[in-house]
């Protein structure tokens, strides 16, 4: 099939193929999609994930003392845009409320991946201990942090394929419990993330190929060794559900501020997307709580819009960015993914409102603006979310979405949540280089 026939002749196809920033609306997006019995996951699964997090909380405090103040919850602040709102041009009434959900500053791993990676590793540890008689019903789960159990865990290894932040999350979680850990990283991985992992005692295997190849290699090695547990970013329900619990956290924070989410006060989420697990999980969790009153949008680099090209194609077989002539080259390393998760594609097929894309230069400019105006320290990939309201309120496709949803007169009461996914763990020297690059673009 020729590249120019993979994507249908939609209004934004030329922009996508030319790697120009644009907004694509999902034609399959529909109301009450989360109620479909055909989905491989359900709102009840999200509720079980919340219960699991609560059960694991004492163990999390035992492993990560910084969580004592939150009683073992891995949570981030909801930050109202003030100076940054003006800098981004969001002061007009139609922009409603605008917040940052600062997963860029999550404890333990410094990124949204703490929600998924820590959750899956700790669930695996609990299951392994129960299966081997090291934890029985009614016993204090903090037993898993004792020397006896840690010695047992040291016989096992946890592996993952990653461009960076998931590897950090899984590596930190695994080492905290005594597991060996191996992170298979793609050629896009940043040196500082590799160095941080190695200092934690994590084995890092770097592959010349891209993220998809790194994951495939990691999976193949783990399949051949029963002592290796593989955290599969392409297929993992545990990762997805770990992320999904963030939606209840957001709901509580909005409620604390007296912010309504209903038919007259819609909620928009802007979620940076790599393979799709984190934004898909958050989006699904939000749909489970807010139903049709929340509209999740993914954001991807112009050269790596794997979710956009696959979902826009309408194909049942995964379509990669290479299939449409894009390069998958981006400074947003966590988003340098050529092919999205098939699991996420299935779950979000009718629940994803759309995808907007951003150019790398804009990521650095946004990063600098966020730092100089409101002291938000972000990675390039995390800065991607900041343009969401502009696309929805100003772009022709955003205006078309408002009309299609019947909300064009309700935008002043809307709430926009810009999900910033990583940044606080970036070394100062590396962050300065981000700022210097942004300065050279001004």
pLDDT per position as a tens digit, 274-299: 999 999 999 999 999 999 999 999 99
pLDDT digits (tens, 9 = 90+) for 362-411: 999 999 999 999 999 999 999 999 999 999 999 999 999 999 999 999 99
3-class SS of residue 186: coil
The whole-angstrom separation of Cα 84 and Cα 105 is: 17
The predicted pLDDT at position 381 comes to 95
C-alpha torsion angle, residues 187, 275, 235, 297 (rounded to 10):
170
3-class SS of residue 245: coil
pLDDT digits (tens, 9 = 90+) for 123-171: 999 999 999 999 999 999 999 999 999 999 999 999 998 877 899 999 9
Average pLDDT value for residue range 234-251? 96
pLDDT digits (tens, 9 = 90+) for 214-228: 788 888 988 999 999
C-alpha torsion angle, residues 50, 51, 57, 63 (rounded to 10):
-80
The predicted pLDDT at position 1 comes to 46
Average pLDDT value for residue range 232-242? 94
Tokens of 323: 């299939």
The whole-angstrom separation of Cα 167 and Cα 194 is: 9
Q: Which of 339, 243, 232 is nearest to 288 (CA)?
A: 243
C-alpha angle 66-70-71 in degrees, rounded to nearest 5 = 95
The predicted pLDDT at position 188 comes to 67
The beta-strand segments (E) located in 51-134 are 78-80, 97-102
Tokens of 67: 């969580």
Domains of the chain, each with CATH number or no CATH = 3-60+71-109+243-441 (3.40.50.1100), 113-239 (3.40.50.1100)
The answer to whether 23 and 391 have CB atoms below 8 angstroms apart is yes
β-strand pairing of 97-102 with 415-420: parallel
Q: What is the pTM of this model?
A: 0.96
Whole-number mean pLDDT of the chain?
95
Of the pLDDT bands very low, low, confident and very high (cuts 50, 70, 90), residue 333 is: confident
Q: How far is CA 43 from the centre of its chain?
A: 19
């Amino acid at each position: 099939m020729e590249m120019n026939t993979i994507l249908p002749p939609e209004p934004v196809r030329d922009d996508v193929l030319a790697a120009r920033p644009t907004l694509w609306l999902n034609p399959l997006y529909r109301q009450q999609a989360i109620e479909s019995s055909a989905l491989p996951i359900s709102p009840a699964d999200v509720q079980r994930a919340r219960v699991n997090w609560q059960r694991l909380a004492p163990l999390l405090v035992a492993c990560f003392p910084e969580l004592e103040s939150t009683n073992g919850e891995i949570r981030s602040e909801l930050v109202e845009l003030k100076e940054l709102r003006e800098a981004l041009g969001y002061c007009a009434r139609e922009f409603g409320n605008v917040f940052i959900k600062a997963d860029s500053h999550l404890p333990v791993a410094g990124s949204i991946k703490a929600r998924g990676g820590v959750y899956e590793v700790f669930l695996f540890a609990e299951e392994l201990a129960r299966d081997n008689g090291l934890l029985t019903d009614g016993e204090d789960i903090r037993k898993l942090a004792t020397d006896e159990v840690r010695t047992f865990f040291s016989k096992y290894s946890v592996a993952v394929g990653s461009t960076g932040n998931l590897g950090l999350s899984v590596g930190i979680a695994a080492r905290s419990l005594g597991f060996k850990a191996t992170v298979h990283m793609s050629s896009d991985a940043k040196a500082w993330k590799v160095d941080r992992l190695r200092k934690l005692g994590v084995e890092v295997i770097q592959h010349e190929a891209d993220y998809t190849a790194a994951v495939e290699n990691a999976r193949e090695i783990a399949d051949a060794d029963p002592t290796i547990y593989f955290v599969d970013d392409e297929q993992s329900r545990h990762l997805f559900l770990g992320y999904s619990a963030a939606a209840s956290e957001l709901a509580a924070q909005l409620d604390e501020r007296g912010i309504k989410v209903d038919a007259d006060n819609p909620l928009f989420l802007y979620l940076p997307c790599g393979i799709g697990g984190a934004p898909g999980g958050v989006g699904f969790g939000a749909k489970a709580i807010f139903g049709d009153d929340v509209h999740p949008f993914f954001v991807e680099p112009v050269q790596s819009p794997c979710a956009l090209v696959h979902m826009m194609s309408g194909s049942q077989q995964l379509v990669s960015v290479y299939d449409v002539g894009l390069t998958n080259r981006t400074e947003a390393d966590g988003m340098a993914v050529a092919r999205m998760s098939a699991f996420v594609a299935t779950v979000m097929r009718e629940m994803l409102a759309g995808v907007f894309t951003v150019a790398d230069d804009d990521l650095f400019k946004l990063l600098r603006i966020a730092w100089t105006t409101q002291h938000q320290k972000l990675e390039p990939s995390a800065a991607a979310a900041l343009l969401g309201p502009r696309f929805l309120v100003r772009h022709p496709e955003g205006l078309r979405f408002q009309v299609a949803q019947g909300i064009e007169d309700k935008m002043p009461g809307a709430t926009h949540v810009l999900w910033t996914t990583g940044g606080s763990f970036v070394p100062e020297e590396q962050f300065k280089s981000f700022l210097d690059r942004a300065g050279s673009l001004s």
